[in-house]
Amino acid sequence: MTYRILTRMGDGERVTMSAAEIKEDISEGIRDAAQSAEIPELTAGESEQLFNIMAEPSRTVSVSAGEEVVVTDDGCSMSFYAGQDSSGIGVPLSRMQAILTYERACAADTTSIGHSDYSFKPVKPIINFEMNEYYTTSMMTTAPLFYGAQPNMGLYFQPDGPYPNPADLLPQGKIKEACETQEAAAEQLRNDIVFVGKKLNSIGCEGLNLDTCGSAGDADLLAALQAVADLKKATPDMPVIMGGSGEFVLGMHGDVAFDGKRLAGMYPQDQAKVAESAGASIYGVAINTNTNKSAAWNIARAVALVKAAVAAVDIPIHVNVGMGVGGVPMMEAPPIDTVTRASKSLVQIGKADGL
Amino acid sequence: MHIAHIVASGMGGIRTSGDLVAWMQMTHKMKIFEAKHYVADKLGVDIIDLTNEEVMRQLREQLEIGVITSIAGSPKGLRAKLKIAELLEIKINSVNLFKSQIT
């Protein structure tokens, strides 16, 4: 009888695979990453190391002593008081109580605070409320406290915002109009991020986290990059970190560039370069999980893409490892067997500077 | 899920030295090894002891940079961060604001 290894699919389904099947999926995942992003494949030794992590019979795994990395908070403490739609557990805690619990009970390396909608646009009209909450909380926390929000340019389009929606214009063949409306929305978004950033800096913000940059496509990412560059000039002592929204920048506009580089179609190693160029302190790469492929395939692919991004820049790379990214299964309650295997692989083989 | 990552790969926050290494990544854009090396030098410990509770718990109390357990009257929060900024020779925005208000 062939020895079977207990593992998962990208949607979290528990399956068993033979050692040969796991090795084949690791090879295919690496090959897919290399072909898609035009990056080097992992070495044979690294593939073997990855197989050993996947085949380890223990329920959870961890990095070796001395190889630990910083785990950056991106709204994690919100999970204490938020609802199911944010994978929250609904405990009636205030934001400050949740943050202090995360810092002290969970031993988090960094903490963060954010508006429950977690986008810059809704923060602008209540910025004084947010400044007060941040200021009060920052007097209590010892670990770095980020203020986090997403650029989320989609909120600027009709019916949620003032600008004509490119998703309506593009199917009508109105390409020029679709580009113009994205450019206008991106400029407004850039101004809003800078407005919020400057206000938070004035009350001693220890770090601003631009999460899920590029979720509405390349113009969304452009606005975020420009805002980071603006803030680095205006508020040089406030670290600004950026996180991607996916492994591939969608070309909803198709012809916007930052620092002379076209943003549409960028993979993580190039996303990290423009983030570094804008002045970001840390860049968080996001690698999509394919729910139809095994954990071995997804983690191998993520590790190859992360390794290339880490090597491409001098700033730290922290990998997004929430549900559906970084090899973590796409489900509401990701199984810790696969979460920890992704975690260990990204750090030990991908050489991530953090998660 | 984030707790699984903290246990599998994290540095341990204020339980050990995770906050200190994070400060260096944020303020000086240091890669992980460089950041750990810098913090270990400032603390006078080996890199492997940065995540060693048996070393870091006592050291944090001695340096007055905040400990994981709650000791009434001992530095925590902004008071601890003031010490951390001095120890690591870094600028922390919240600390600078506080200092500007007491001088």
Q: What is the pLDDT of residues A26-58, one digit of tens each?
A: 999 999 999 999 999 999 999 999 999 999 999
Size of interface A-B (CB pairs under 8 A): 186
- Quickly tell me which residue has 């990095």 as its tokens: A63
Query: Are the beta carbons of A277 and A258 closer than 8 angstroms?
Result: yes
For the segment A195-206, the average pLDDT, to the nearest whole number, is 98
Q: What residues 43-62 of chain B have any CB closer than 8 A to a CB of chain A?
A: 47-48, 50-51
Q: Is the pLDDT of residue A133 over 70?
A: yes
pLDDT attached to residue A75: 81
For the segment A80-95, the average pLDDT, to the nearest whole number, is 90
> In terms of CA atoms, which chain B residue is nearest residue A353?
B32
Q: Does B38 touch chain A (CB under 8 A)?
A: no
Tell me the pLDDT band of A304, cut-offs 50, 70 and 90.
very high
Six token digits for residue A202: 């004035």
Q: What is the pLDDT of residues A94-109, one digit of tens each?
A: 999 999 999 999 999 9
Question: Cβ of B37: how many Cβ atoms within 10 Å?
Answer: 16
DSSP letter at A70 equals: B
User: Quick one: B58 exposed, middle or buried, by C-beta within 10 A (0-12, 13-18, 19+)?
Assistant: exposed
pLDDT attached to residue B14: 97
* Gap from A100 CA to chain B (nearest CA, Å): 10
A chain contacts of residue B92, beta-carbon cutoff 8 Å = 206
Tell me the pLDDT band of A1, cut-offs 50, 70 and 90.
low
Q: Is the pLDDT of residue B94 over 70?
A: yes
Q: What is the pLDDT of residues A5-25, one digit of tens each?
A: 999 999 999 999 999 999 999
- ipTM of this predicted structure: 0.97
Query: Are the beta carbons of A351 and A269 closer than 8 angstroms?
Result: no
Can you list the positions of beta strands (E) in A251-316? 257-258, 261-262, 282-285
State the Cα–Cα distance between residues A321 and A268, nearest whole angstrom: 14
List of domains in chain A: 4-348 (3.20.20)
Q: What is the pLDDT of residues A168-190, one digit of tens each?
A: 999 999 999 999 999 999 999 99
